[in-house]
Every structure is written in structure tokens, then in C-alpha cells.
Amino acid sequence: MNKIMTPKFSVAALTAAAALTLSACGSDSEETADTASAWDEIQEQGTLTVATSGTLYPTSYREEGTDELTGFEVEVVREMAERLELEVEFSEMGFDEMMTSVQTGQVDIAANDIEINEDRKEKFVFSTPFKYSYGTAIVRADDLSGIETLEDLEGKKAAGASTSVYMETARSYGAEEVTYDNATNETYLRDVAIGRTDVILNDYYLQTLAIEAFPELDIVIHPTIKYRPSEGGMVMNKGNDELVENVNKAIDEMLEDGTIAEISAEFFDGADVTQPIDIEE
């Protein structure tokens, strides 16, 4: 997932805590007990800890003039937690840090428009997918940044998070990566408009809404570049089987009764992102 950030606030950095080291000689029964106790601890505390950026409009952000965290996945998480009879404690951080925090057990879940792919599935467990999209490219309006196809990315400056699937695509076509530390939408977009960078590869829905937020910038979504159909879900650590089971049960119910589709319409200008998309690459 590459980051398209909301321009309306900044986010304080979080200090990473030391991870507990598990004994390599633990038995299968001990591992089962650890797994069970992880979910038991969540229930005992009554709180689900969730990593999110707080800067990714409209997935996780703050409305102008308020201190209230909201967004598509923020509200999906809140509804899911309510069905699990849990409170939610959000921790705001950059993408790389949130994945590390899941892996080390600092948080229970990461929810931030995270695309499901094979590399991540080797390290993490994903929830049932509930967002489908595809990749697009933001470029300058006057000359499309000299890009007609993905092959033209060679030598261009692509803005985004280094570990995102979109930056992986940019690098695979020879683009020069330009990375940011949890920057805002405006920073990303304005840099393309003024020529500091050339292109932002990212999710179609996020790109569309980001451009709508800054009509004064001379940028557009590339009219012909469509690639990488994607599906996204929440991220959890491997071994937390009961957590995964309960999260999926709630999400499946929310998909079936249309709750996530309703939340999608609220944040994606009426669009239902829960429906798979078929595009010609």
C-alpha cells in the first residue's frame, strides 16, 4: 500500500517498545496456550489495539477542525469491535512501523488500506478481504509527466512509501523512488504538480479523492494506465488464530448485511469498494 495522505494535520511519532522474545524450544501445547492467552488478554482488557496512519484520506484521517479520527477503515474497525464487544485503541504511525508493530505484538491489528499479496502473507495473516480496487497513476495534467505507459516510468521520479506494492511496481519499471515520512496528501500532490517528482502510483479510489481535494493543482489521474487489481484487508500476526477467527466472523457478517458497503458509500463518494473489479491490464 502506498500512502496518499490527508493534508489536514500532522501525526506524532510513536516510540517503538521492545518485543518479548519467545523460547524456541516451546512445545506445541505451549504455543497453543500462548495463542489462546493472546485472545483471552484482549477480551480481559476489553480493548483491541489497532495501528493506522491517521493521514491516509479517506481511509484513516481527521476531519478539518476536529480531533476525531475517522475514515473508511477506522469506521469498519469500530463497527467490528462493537460486534466483538470490545473498545478500540488506535495508534497512529507510518506504514513500515505499523507492520513491525503487528509482528512484535505491540498492536493486535493494522488497518490502513493494506493490500493483500503473497510476500505479506508469508509474514502475516489477513482478514477476509473487504476492499477491492486497482492501481492508477497521478501525473501532471499538461504533459502527463511524459508517461504514456508503465514502461515510460524508467528514469521518472516516483513518490511513495518504499515498501508499498506500488513502489515495487515503480521500481520494476526503472523509476527512481522518492520516499516520505508519513507526509500529507498536499506534499505528495504538490511535488508532482511543481515537477519535484513525476508520478504517484496508488489505489484508484484514494487517488481520485486526493485529486478532488486539491482542484487548484495541475494534476490528473492518467487516462489510460490501469494495473494490478487488488484486494485489501486488516493485518494480524501469525499464530493469533482466535483473533483472526473472531475478526473474520465479524467482517463476514458486516459484508453480508451490507454494513461495510454503507460505510464505503460514505467515504468513497457513493462507491461500493466491497465489490471485486475486473480490469484489462
Indicate the pTM of the whole model. 0.73
Say how far apart CA 140 and CA 162 lie, in whole Å. 22
Give the residue-averaged pLDDT of 60-76. 92
28-131+231-267 against 132-229: fold identical: yes
Predicted confidence (pLDDT) at residue 160 exceeds the cutoff of 60: yes
Domain boundaries, the chain: 28-131+231-267, 132-229
Is 204 within 8 Å of 133 (Cβ atoms)?
yes
Cis bond before residue 276 (omega within 30° of 0): no
132-229 CATH, one of 3.30.1540.20, 2.40.50.140, 3.40.190.10, 3.40.50.1100:
3.40.190.10
Say how far apart CA 201 and CA 158 lie, in whole Å. 7
Chain segment 113-147, per-residue pLDDT in tens: 999 989 899 999 999 999 999 999 999 999 999 99
What is the pLDDT of the chain when averaged over all its residues? Answer: 87
- For residue 174, the 8-state DSSP code is T
Q: Residue 177, Cα to own-chain centre: how many angstroms?
A: 19
Chain segment 234-248, per-residue pLDDT in tens: 999 999 999 999 999
Angle, vertex CA 188, rays to CA 183 and CA 189, nearest 5? 145
Question: Which fold would CATH assign to domain 28-131+231-267?
Answer: D-Maltodextrin-Binding Protein; domain 2 (3.40.190)
